[in-house]
Amino acid sequence: MRVWAPTGQTPVIKVAANRDSTHFYAALNLLTGQEVSLRSDLMTAQVSALFLSRVLLAYPDTPILFLWDRATWHRGEPIRAMLEANPRLEVMWFPPGSPELNPQEQVWKAAREAVSHNHTCTKLPELAEAFEQHLTTTCFPCSLLERHGYHEICAMFN
């Protein structure tokens, strides 16, 4: 990111010596641009299954197609059990090494630019809260459906 600074004065950026971290799960509704998110200290198949539960609660009467990357925490027994127990939930995998196909990657980029680049927040929990707030209150439009003729195909069946 770029920052403004007086000519000849390099900005000083303070970095914490510790390695605190937090992670986010999020799903983009391609029709509305809304996000469902979950903050977690870990990224495991068990937490991924918990996140799937959250998405199912957010959309209680709708079949859900999950477009997922091939992260190791998106696989395992908790995921298999969740998919078996919830037939309205289906997973489609992105090809390996293809983040450019994943609309969620654009959401991560936009949220980082809006919240965590050039910030003045010194406490990770506060920054994480702001990041999560941005995810859940911002509409993230996506052109994936339009690029593949989704609306035209749907209109043919109405």
**With helix as H, strand as E and coil as C, how does 90-103 read?**
EEEECCCCCHHHCH
pLDDT of residue 141: 86
DSSP state of 115: I
pTM: 0.81
DSSP state of 73: G
Q: Domains, the chain, ranges and CATH?
A: 23-156 (3.30.420.10)
Distance CA 81, CA 103 (A): 26
Are 31 and 140 in contact by the 8 Å Cβ rule? The answer is no
pLDDT single digits (tens) 108-152: 999 999 998 877 777 888 999 999 999 999 999 888 767 767 666
